[in-house]
Amino acid sequence: MFRIPFERVNWITSSFLIGTALIALIGAPIYLFNFGLNWFQFGMFFFYLCATMMSITVGYHRLFSHLSFKAKKPVKLFTLIFGACAFENSCLNWSSDHRHHHKHVDHDDDPYDISKGFFWAHIGWLLFKLDPEPPMDNVADLRKDKLVMWQHKYTHWIGFVVGLVIPAALGYGYNSLVGADPMNGALGGFLIAGVTRIVIAQHLTFFINSLCHTVGRQPYSTKHSARDSAIMAILTFGEGYHNYHHEFQHDYRNGVKPWQWDPSKWTIWTLSKLGLVEGLRRVPDGKILLAEMGEARRRVEDRINEIKATPGYTQRSAEMLTQVSEKLAANYHELEKAVADRVQLSREALQTWQNETRELMRQLPRISKPTIA
């Protein structure tokens, strides 16, 4: 029978996560029912949610954990302060855990290893002590950054003051100005832009570790459990293209296709135009396409093996699939050579390869239906 391992419960973190969730689920609806939500309270909630989430995705994740671009002090300071307001530990701790996650994905040393189950990857790893605690031996570079170390020292204080006290004070001030009850305003700021926003931001971040390793497609690699999903990208401010991200973790983009929803990428790009960030790292288009073509080849090989294992498979289907496989392999090797020789590939040439791969893959379901001869 399932038994909670009480000896391993992380009491402080568990009390915080469960306590804030209860306040958001019970306290906030009671407040909203009694006092409603004015535009000021809603505006604060919206600003705080975006600022917190963006600080996690742009700051904690893409800047500090992956060094996918360089940032000037104002950007670092903003993301460190509002990152602390997410109450997801200091940037130093977060980045260390996250680097372990990438290095050991789906294995024991991955702190949020999805192979231990959805609940574990989402929140279990925080409610219970990790055994053993992952060593913080992979953040020597961040330890040299004074701002990161300042935030590491005061992270809970920064989160408490900026993330909870200030929204309450602003709510108090606004209600005083418009002649309403100031304490009501303070309570609203604390409950909505404060606690409810923390709970929402946390679970949206946790989804990246749970749902983004469960739901979606794997167009770039099946060597790990990470997946691409547009719905998850909308929920996570662009982090839902997680299969791409695990394959090319140093790219400042997660959604690389023009139609993909990645507001974190757009923010970084805009900041670069304003001169606030620089050195944006991008994986060349040829290399990205090569990964997609590699996966397409693997899927065709799987189908060939599948069809050959079906009793009574037609020789013709297997032959047609082999032809598709050979064509894909020829294109793959041609592109592989061009990428290795660092040939400047035109957009048109890449598009042709991409279209041909798609066209070949479209034939797959038609060919591979096993027909009993």
Residues that bind Zn ion (CB under 5 A): 226
Q: Check if the beta carbon of residue 301 is closer than 8 Å to that of residue 366.
A: no
- Smallest gap from Cβ 133 to Zn ion, in A, equals 20
Residue 95 or 331: the one with the smaller Cβ distance to Zn ion is 95
DSSP bridge partners of 9: 128
Q: What is the C-alpha to C-alpha distance for residues 353 and 344, in angstroms, rounded to an integer?
A: 15
Q: Check if the beta carbon of residue 204 is closer than 8 Å to that of residue 117.
A: no
Angle, CA of 39, 40 and 45, to the nearest 5°: 95
Q: What is the C-alpha to C-alpha distance for residues 23 and 10, in angstroms, rounded to an integer?
A: 20
Pairing of strands 70-71, 277-278: antiparallel
Residue 211 or 226: the one with the smaller Cβ distance to Zn ion is 226
Residue 175 or 209: the one with the smaller Cβ distance to Zn ion is 209
Residue 197 or 262: the one with the smaller Cβ distance to Zn ion is 262
- Smallest gap from Cβ 254 to Zn ion, in A, equals 9
Residue 226 or 271: the one with the smaller Cβ distance to Zn ion is 226
- Smallest gap from Cβ 219 to Zn ion, in A, equals 16
Residue 58 or 226: the one with the smaller Cβ distance to Zn ion is 226
Q: Is 283 helix (H, G, I), strand (E, B) or coil?
A: coil
Residue 63 or 226: the one with the smaller Cβ distance to Zn ion is 226
Residue among 86, 77, 93 nearest 134 (CA): 93
- Smallest gap from Cβ 111 to Zn ion, in A, equals 11
Q: Check if the beta carbon of residue 239 is closer than 8 Å to that of residue 61.
A: yes
Q: Check if the beta carbon of residue 294 is closer than 8 Å to that of residue 325.
A: no
Q: Check if the beta carbon of residue 328 is closer than 8 Å to that of residue 301.
A: no
Inter-axis angle of helices 263-273 and 39-54, to 10 degrees?
A: 80
Residue 246 or 303: the one with the smaller Cβ distance to Zn ion is 246
Residue among 319, 285, 293 nearest 304 (CA): 319
- Smallest gap from Cβ 36 to Zn ion, in A, equals 39
- Smallest gap from Cβ 226 to Zn ion, in A, equals 5
DSSP bridge partners of 71: 277
Burial class (CB in 10 A: 0-12, 13-18, 19+), 180: middle
Q: Check if the beta carbon of residue 174 is closer than 8 Å to that of residue 186.
A: no
- Smallest gap from Cβ 294 to Zn ion, in A, equals 20
Place of tokens 């770039």: 220
